[in-house]
Amino acid sequence: MEKIIDEKKQGESLILEQKDGNTRKLFIESYGCQMNFSDSEIVASILANEGYNTTQQLEDADLVLVNTCSIRDKAEQTVRKRLEKYNAVKKINPTMKVGVLGCMAERLKSKFLEEEKIVDLVVGPDAYKDLPNLLSEVDEGRDAINVILSKEETYGDISPVRLNSNGVSAFVSITRGCDNMCTFCVVPFTRGRERSRDPQSILEEVNDLWNKGYKEVTLLGQNVDSYLWYGGGLKKDFEKASDLQKATATNFANLLELCAKAQPKMRFRFSTSNPQDMTLDVIETMAQYNNICNYIHLPVQSGSNRILKEMNRQHTREEYFELIDNIKRLIPDCAISQDMIAGFPTETEEDHQDTLSLMEYVKYDFGFMFAYSERPGTLAERKMEDDIPEDTKKRRLNEIIQLQQKHSLYRTQQHVGKVEEVLIEKSSKKSDAHWSGRNSQNTVVVFPKDNYKVGDFVNVKITDCTSATLIGEAVGLSMNNS
Ligand code: SAH
Ligand code: F3S
């Protein structure tokens, strides 16, 4: 029997699924991308069958797992700091075991066991099903490691345990790995080849979430537009598939439609889109279904054609503009966000100006902006010198951030005066008398609670805004409530 424990923490309702009879305590925390958070839910599910329930108290844990990120050097340093903290806790809880999961585990492999005394277990992103075996080795006092990457594993058969959930929105992963080989990026090395998950298992997870009361699903992948199911197998082997497999294959637009139709009252989002793989039929499907949110995270990294080429991004600035124009033509109120990298090797002031002018053209709703961080093993690291001085990187990054803030405010101001549907997720961080939720465009909306509750779709009149938040007043429940 599974029971649901509801507890209040920092104004948020934390729902922990626990399994009766489990006696061991697992403390699991995640760094980096949404995929890592989603993977930790898979790991918690695997370990629930091994006698582990999750705990929020590090000091109580029998097993501590940290799901790690390698995307930038700083992300790795954050994890190293956490290991120091575990070290301190181990002094008062000496039987506690520590495992490292995710991208750093894959990148550093057995080096982790040598470099960090505290670590007992190293498990790469495709090896989580081996955790029960690995843990029995650890129980017998040996260090354990599995960092084998897979061409098939999608964890499609595992029903994730929802961790730290608001009970309203959830992630569902649809692809794993990435074949794109952007020259700055470590992901293809740490997460392996791209493979798609059986749409049937995706729909089952979506339906199950709906039955548990969830109202919004974000479909996750490194490159969702590249999703392709033809009965299993790597994306790159599709050419070798039979005619029947090709004729009955499911692409990302098909998958979106399947989800939108299966649960017409549920909201669907997805992340991340790669401009080179996003097709018109995806945008048309978004336009056709009200319950697919009008928001696209569309990283571009740079506005300079020369830098885009050096990054091995497979599109030009002009092709990107064409995609943006098509999105705005088919979905005029679609929000678009970006990822940008400042100071990629050889980037000149002129290249940087191209990035700023691209931003002026798109006027993104928001963005995630980074200074270039050289990653060991990537093509950029092997072939190019990290030649932009740190202070130049910082200055360019600041200019990008400043411009984004201006555009974010411009975009939020466009919402003022409108009535928009908001899905309530939690209490506002700043005020317990206000709800916080998001509109279709993924912008946070804050408004007085009245008699509404978490999980309600509410029509909110937007009265004011900052560059990051819309402020409003509820005018009634939306038609979407069942
Ligand atoms: N397709 C992926 C991208 C993963 S990386 C996704 O699902 O989001 C997320 C972002 O980190 C990238 O878009 C890029 O802007 C940034 N990034 C990746 N490698 C980087 C590096 N070496 N230095 C700085 N930023 C990097
Ligand atoms: Fe990385 Fe490019 Fe894939 S940013 S995750 S290699 S699309």
Q: Which ligand is nearest to the CA of 339?
A: 1
Nearest ligand for residue 355 CA: 1
- Under the banding of pLDDT at 50, 70 and 90, the label for residue 232 is confident
Q: Whose CA is nearest to atom 1 of ligand 2?
A: 185
Nearest ligand, CA 194: 2
Contact 159, 45 (CB under 8 A): yes
Choice from 70, 173, 182 to test ligand 2 binding pocket (greatest atom count within 8 A of CB): 182
User: Quick one: pLDDT band at residue 2, thresholds 50, 70, 90?
Assistant: very low
**Average per-residue pLDDT in the chain?**
94
Q: How far, in Å, from the CA of 186 to the mean position of ligand 2?
A: 8
Give residue-wise pLDDT tens across range 60-97: 999 999 999 999 999 999 999 999 999 999 999 999 99
CA 156 vs. chain centroid, Å, equals: 17
Atom of ligand 2 nearest to the CA of 186: 1
Taking the centre of ligand 1 as the mean of its atom positions, its distance from the CA of residue 422, in whole angstroms, is 29
Domain with CATH 2.40.50.140 in the chain: 419-477
Judge if the beta carbon of residue 38 lies within 6 A of ligand 1. no
Give ranges for CATH 3.40.50.2300 in the chain. Answer: 4-146
**pLDDT tens-digit map of 259-290:** 999 999 999 999 999 999 999 999 999 999 99
Q: What percent of the chain has pLDDT over 70?
A: 96
* Ligand 2 pocket residues where CB is under 6 Å: 178, 180-182, 185, 187-188, 222-223, 274
Mean pLDDT for 123-135 is: 98
Fold of 419-477: OB fold (Dihydrolipoamide Acetyltransferase, E2P) (2.40.50)
Predicted pLDDT of residue 482: 67
- CATH 3.80.30.20 region(s) of the chain? 169-410
CATH number (3.40.50.2300, 3.40.980.10, 3.40.50.300, 3.30.70.270) of 4-146 reads: 3.40.50.2300
Its CATH architecture, for the domain 169-410, is Alpha-Beta Horseshoe (3.80)
Mind listing the pLDDT tens digit for each residue in 413-472? 999 999 999 999 999 999 999 999 999 999 999 999 999 999 999 999 999 999 999 999
pLDDT by residue (tens digit) across 165-217?
899 999 999 999 999 999 999 999 999 999 999 999 999 999 999 999 999 99
pTM: 0.94
pLDDT tens digits, residue range 344-382?
999 999 999 999 999 999 999 999 999 999 999 999 999
The answer to whether residues 107 and 72 touch, using CB atoms and an 8 Å cutoff, is no
Please give the distance, rounded to the nearest whole angstrom, from the Cα atom of residue 12 to the centre of ligand 1.
Answer: 29
pLDDT at 9 over 50: no
CA angle 361, 296, 337 (to 5 degrees): 50
Q: What is the pLDDT of residue 140?
A: 95
